[in-house]
Structure 1
Amino acid sequence: MVDELKPVPPSKRWGQMPRHYWPDDAQWMSAKLGTLDPSLRAEVCAAYAKAYLEAWQAEPLSYRRHGKARFAANTRLRVFIGKRFAVFNR
C-alpha cells in the first residue's frame, strides 16, 4: 500500500487551517492559531504545511511519516506561539 499525503478537505477544517495536518490535531491547532491576527494566521498556516510536508517527505519509512511530520510541524507552531507571546508572560 502506498502512503500518500492528501490535503484535509476544507469542509473538515476549523477556520483557516494549514493545507496538510493530522486531523486529530485540529482542535489544538485551531486554539493556537486563533490567537493570531488573520493576516499572520495565513502565513503561519503556510509555514506549518511546509514543515509538515518537508518532514513527511524526508522520512524514508512509510509507517513513521505522519508521526515525524506531526512532531516537526507541531513543535514549530508551539515554539513560534511561545516566542510570540512570551512578552505577555513576564
Structure 2
Amino acid sequence: AVTHGPVVLSGNYGDTTLSALPSLDVASIKRAAPTALAFTATANGATVRLGPFHDAHGHNYTVYWNTGGRASVRIANAAGGLVLGIQDMSTADGGRALLW
C-alpha cells in the first residue's frame, strides 16, 4: 500500500478490470497538486491516478501493488519515502518487519 501521512492511497482504474496485481514504479509517484491528496504514478508502463482509499467508490481500484522489491509486502509513505516491508509475507508467520 502507498500512503501519504496516515492516508492510504488507491489506484483509480476507472472501468478497467484488473486481472492481475499491477506493478508499480514507486519512484514514479508524484503529487499532482501541492494542496490536494492527488498523485500520479506509473504502473505496468501506464499512468495511474492515486487518491485516498476512503474516496474509492464508483470505479475499479487497488491498494495492493507488485513493487519488485525483496520484501513480500511493502508500505511506502509518499510524503517521507519511508518503506515498511514484511519479510516472509506475515508477522504472524514469524516474518520480521523491516524499515528502509
Relative to its length, the structure with more strand (as a share) is 2
Relative to its length, the structure with more helix (as a share) is 1
Question: What TM-score, normalized to structure 1?
Answer: 0.24
Question: What TM-score, normalized to structure 2?
Answer: 0.22
